[in-house]
């Protein structure tokens, strides 16, 4: 089924113990689309300024990513972000952020995209996520990401959005913050009461946890990756693999959701192997399937 993503396109500068990548391509919609296109065609919605040095048509060459929804604003500047990771890569400090186009009105969804059935609202202001959601006619499964800034400063908008979506994808620190509970099992239940029928909590190197309103729970470790250089975008790649598989299958029962989590886990293990998109760009579905089977074998007992 059709899969639509809306999110950021960024110019990033990333510093890790393994090097520095200056003015590289980033953004939630970019990472998501590269990952999701391994499974399903992707309809891309995003906005950049005239200063963007990247040709996204070239970036996604050979990938099934429809850039009809890409908007270029000549009088605006592209979103920029710079961050530094700790020696163990578990903590990240934001050095600076320039919202630029992300502080403006969101892009419009083309008419041809309004019949999309699977929709991922990548991390941005919840009021903008809601506005974009309202432009899609009858989606069957809507997932959204968020972050601590929106939880702290735009909670009312976020809570209104949660009532409109099927699935919340969130990291463990944000889950604790949103639910006001350190225990992730309790936090997941509290977030389910806020509206979504499925909650997926990303735990970085510790894997992920998924719960639904039927009381089902699924926990999966991360894929053990020896080469980790840059975790930037790993969560968006996880979401891309997750949603890409769901759109391909056209199903959202809990067994399918579990498989989707596993594919998201595997795809993100490729993205962290190099800076920006380098760890994922040349990845083939056959390589993903191989790691998927390895993960399945490692977690079977």
103 with 79: CB under 8 angstroms? no
The pLDDT, as a whole number, for residue 41 is 97
Can you list the pairs that 109-115 forms with residues at least 24 positions away whose Cβ atoms lie under 8 Å?
Answer: 109/4, 109/6, 109/45, 109/69, 109/135, 109/136, 110/68, 110/69, 112/68, 113/2, 113/4, 113/43, 113/45, 113/66, 113/68, 113/69, 115/2
Q: Which residues contact 134 (CB under 8 A, 6 or more apart)?
A: none
Q: Alpha helices, DSSP H only, in the chain?
A: 28-36, 56-59, 126-133, 148-153, 155-162, 172-179, 184-193, 234-249, 254-271, 278-281, 285-298
The pLDDT, as a whole number, for residue 205 is 86
Q: Could you give all domains of the chain from N- to C-terminal order, each with its CATH number? A: 3-298 (3.40.1190.20)
Beta bridge partners of 141: 118
252 with 238: CB under 8 angstroms? no
The pLDDT, as a whole number, for residue 226 is 85
Per-residue pLDDT of the chain (301 residues; tens, 9 = 90+): 799 999 999 999 999 999 999 999 999 999 999 999 999 999 999 999 999 999 999 999 999 999 999 999 999 999 999 999 998 888 888 898 899 998 898 899 999 999 999 999 998 889 889 999 999 999 999 999 998 888 998 999 999 999 999 999 999 999 999 999 999 999 999 999 999 999 999 998 899 999 999 999 999 999 998 888 989 999 999 999 999 999 999 999 999 999 999 999 999 999 999 989 988 888 999 999 999 999 999 998 8
Q: Which residues contact 230 (CB under 8 A, 6 or more apart)?
A: 14, 16, 18, 21, 85, 272, 274, 275, 276, 279
CA 80 to chain centre: 18
Q: For residues 136 and 118, what is the distance between their CA atoms, to the nearest angstrom?
A: 10
């Amino acid at each position: 089924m059709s899969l639509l993503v809306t999110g950021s396109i960024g110019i990033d500068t990333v510093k890790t113990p393994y090097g520095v990548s200056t003015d590289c391509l980033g953004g939630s919609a970019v990472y998501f689309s590269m990952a999701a296109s391994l499974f399903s065609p992707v309809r891309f919605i995003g906005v950049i300024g005239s200063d963007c040095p990247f040709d996204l048509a070239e970036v996604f060459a050979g990938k099934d990513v429809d850039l009809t929804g890409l908007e270029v604003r000549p009088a605006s500047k592209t979103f920029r972000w710079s961050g530094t990771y700790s020696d163990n890569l578990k903590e990240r400090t934001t050095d600076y952020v320039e919202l630029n186009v992300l502080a403006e009105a969101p892009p419009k969804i083309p008419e041809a995209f309004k019949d999309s059935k699977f929709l991922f609202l990548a991390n941005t202001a919840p009021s903008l996520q809601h506005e974009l959601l309202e432009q899609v006619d009858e989606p069957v499964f809507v997932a959204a990401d968020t972050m601590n800034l929106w939880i702290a400063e735009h909670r009312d908008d976020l809570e209104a959005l949660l009532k409109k979506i099927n699935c919340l994808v969130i990291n463990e620190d944000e889950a604790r913050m949103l639910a006001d509970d350190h225990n992730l099992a309790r936090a997941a239940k509290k977030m389910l009461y806020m509206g979504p029928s499925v909650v997926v909590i990303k735990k970085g190197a510790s894997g992920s946890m998924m719960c639904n309103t039927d009381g089902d729970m699924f926990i999966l470790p991360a894929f053990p990756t020896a080469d980790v250089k840059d975790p930037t975008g790993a969560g968006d790649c996880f979401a891309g693999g997750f949603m890409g598989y769901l759109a391909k299958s056209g199903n959202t029962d809990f067994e399918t959701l579990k498989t989707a989590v596993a594919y998201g886990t595997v795809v993100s293990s490729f993205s962290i192997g190099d800076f920006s998109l380098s760890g994922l760009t040349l990845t083939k579905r056959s390589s993903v399937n191989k790691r998927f089977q390895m993960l399945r074998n490692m977690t079977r007992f």
